[in-house]
Structure formats: structure tokens, C-alpha cells
Amino acid sequence: MSMIAAIRRGQPTPLQPSMKADFNQVQLDIATLTRAERQRLRQSLLATLYFDFLQLPFELRETVYELVLMSSSGKIRRFSSPGRHKKSKTKAPRQIPTSILSVSRQVYLEARDVLYRKTTCKLSIYSQFRQVGHQIERNDKLAFVNFRQVILDIHVTNTSIEYNDKAVGSIGHFLADLVDMLVLAFDRQYNAPKTTVRLDFRLWEANDLDYKSGDDAPGCIGVCLYRKVWYRAQIAFAFNKMKSLLCFRVPNLILTTNVETSINGFRAQKVDACKVRFWNERNGDLGILSLWPNGHGCKLDPHEETDSDD
């Protein structure tokens, strides 16, 4: 019995057409159908093409949302300057397909929750591509409200670091503005879920403030290890000020950074905007590190007084 004949008799039409079926003949047959018969044909086709997605278990629906909306890394990356990825080796951000959000209101709410709850939003802050220096774009401020995990990839320029620096675009000014922005974002969200914000600082490449083999080699220690110790101490001091201000004002916020711990046995403490006091845990050496004028290295002043109060 042909499919067309079955439709005319009002019988179910199992959709298993032969691979040898004459397509032109099918077109001719469909053209002879009445409007009601065409409607029955459409319903038969849809019965095999669609299913009730919301009847799936919630855990399975969440898995589908993850496959559609999330990248393999679980991160969404956005650059602070348009076209930034074209000037580096970093791949362009992946475009998120959003058609699933228009299926229904329930699917929209479920998929949105999965995206913001399980995805990490990464914002890259590059001062050299902005005339105003370090700054978060207006649209990116929503990331701190929606996403549960946010990473700021901050490129540090070769300048001093003072929290709440008056120089617009400086790291210190940027951190103070970030505190105000976070307080404003979470001010009225008394029952908001915990949000983790991580500040990853670097000079040029990712993780370049971490210790690497050879940093303390003769001839390299001033531009490698000492320089990293100096920057980490200066940034950590500003970060701790920022963290202390947010501790009580935004209790649902967890703030972390990549410069909180010592590297290679060097404990360091900021003295002022130019100097850092350090202690080498391995041999007990004490000293003062001063940044070179060009910011590309540090010099050791071992005979300078190291027991002054902060």
C-alpha cells in the first residue's frame, strides 16, 4: 500500500520510503492531495521529526544545554578591545548558538541557568589597546551579575602599582573602580548565589609571573626572579586592600588571585611604590628590591635597611 493511498484512507503512514522511490512521482502524487490530506501527511511527517523535549529527565536536558551552549574548555572569553584576538596568537572567541533559547520559556530559563552556573566567563583587560588604560567595558559589567565564575586576565604595564591611584587607567585606579562596580552589582542581591571572581595578573604571557626554571640563573635573576617577586608583592598589597573592602560589603563574593603566594621560597612585602622587602626562606637572605626605571628588571640593595616599619 502506498503512502498516498494510506493517507487517503486515513490510516497511519510509517515513514520508511524506499531509496528507489521516484521523487518526481511523489511530487505528482502530493499535488493530487486535498488540503485535508496534505494536513494528515504533514502530521505524519512531524510525528517522526519532533519529540517532546521537556518530557526528558531534567538531568538529560541539562546535558543537552551544556553540549549546545558550552565550549569544551567550559569558558567564554571576551576581549576588552575589539579585534584584540587578531593581534595575538589567541583564537577568536567562539560564537555561542542561541537558537535553543527561543524554543520555549521553560527551555530558555533552564538553558540560561546552565550557561551562567557552569560556564566561566573570562574577560581580558589590555591597557595598550585602549587610550584610557585598564578598564572594563560597560557591557561586560553584567558578567559579574549573571555568571557564577569570572576570570579577569589583566595585563600589567611597567608602572608602579598603588591602590586607588588617581591616574585614570592605572592598575590601582582600575582595582578601586572594580570594587565600586562589584559593590553596586551585588548591593541588593541579598540571596544571590556565591560568585567567584579571580584576578590573574601577567606581564606579557599567561602565567609569566610564576616561577620558571632558570629564573634565578646568574645574569637572569634581576630581570626574571627579582622582577617577578617585586611585581607580585606590589600587586598582592593592592589586591589585599581590595579584598578587605569587599569582605563585608559583598559577603557572597569569593575573590582570588594568582599572586597571593610566594614563589621559589621568596617571601616579599611592599615597602613603598618603588621598593619591596624580601626574605629568602632557603638561605635566610634579606634584602630590598627596587624596580629599574624602565620597569624591565629589579636591582638588589642588600645593604639597605630592611627592618623599617610599614
Tens-place pLDDT, residues 19-75: 444 556 666 777 788 888 877 877 776 666 667 788 888 888 898 888 888 776 667
Give the chain's radius of gyration (CA, Å).
Answer: 30
- Reduced to 3 DSSP states, what percent helix, strand and coil does the chain have, rounded to the nearest 5? 40, 15, 45
Q: What is the pLDDT of residues 96-108, one digit of tens each?
A: 777 888 888 999 9
User: Quick one: which H or E segment has residue 154?
Assistant: strand 149-155
More confident residue, 153 or 222: 153
Contact 183, 246 (CB under 8 A): yes
State the pairing for strand pair 266-270/275-280.
Answer: antiparallel
Q: Give first-to-last CA distance, the chain, whole Å.
A: 94
pLDDT, the chain, mean: 76
Residue 205: pLDDT over 60:
yes
Q: How far is CA 30 from CA 21, 33, 120, in A?
A: 14, 5, 51
More confident residue, 181 or 206: 181
Confidence of residue 9 (pLDDT cuts 50, 70, 90): low
**Grid coordinates of 306:** 630592611
Question: pLDDT at position 121, please?
Answer: 87
Count of CB atoms situated within 10 Å of the CB of 153 = 19
Question: pLDDT at position 81, please?
Answer: 45
Contact 120, 76 (CB under 8 A): yes
Question: pLDDT at position 16, please?
Answer: 46
Question: pLDDT at position 173, please?
Answer: 83
Contact 179, 134 (CB under 8 A): no
State the pairing for strand pair 266-270/253-257.
Answer: unpaired
Q: What is the pLDDT of residues 235-275, one digit of tens each?
A: 999 999 999 989 888 888 899 999 988 888 888 888 888 88
Angle at 111 between CA 196 and CA 106, to 5 degrees: 130
Virtual torsion, Cα 179, 185, 186, 192, nearest 10 deg: -140
State the pairing for strand pair 195-202/286-291.
Answer: unpaired
Question: pLDDT at position 73, please?
Answer: 66
3-state secondary structure of 304: coil
Nearest to 203 by CA among 161, 154, 242: 154
Query: What would the mean pLDDT of 198-207 be, rounded to a whole number?
Result: 86
pTM for the full predicted model = 0.70
Residue holding cell 574577560?
A: 123
Residue 94: pLDDT over 70:
no
What distance separates the 2 farthest-apart alpha carbons in the chain?
103
Residue 199: pLDDT over 50:
yes
Q: Looking at the chain, how many residues does it have?
A: 310
DSSP string, 25-40: HHHHHHHT--HHHHHH
Query: What would the mean pLDDT of 128-146 be, rounded to a whole number?
Result: 68
Nearest to 240 by CA among 148, 171, 163, 309: 163
Share of the chain above pLDDT 90, in %: 11
Q: What is the pLDDT of residues 158-196, one digit of tens each?
A: 666 877 676 666 788 888 888 888 888 777 666 777 889
**Grid coordinates of 3:** 503512502
Question: pLDDT at position 106, please?
Answer: 92
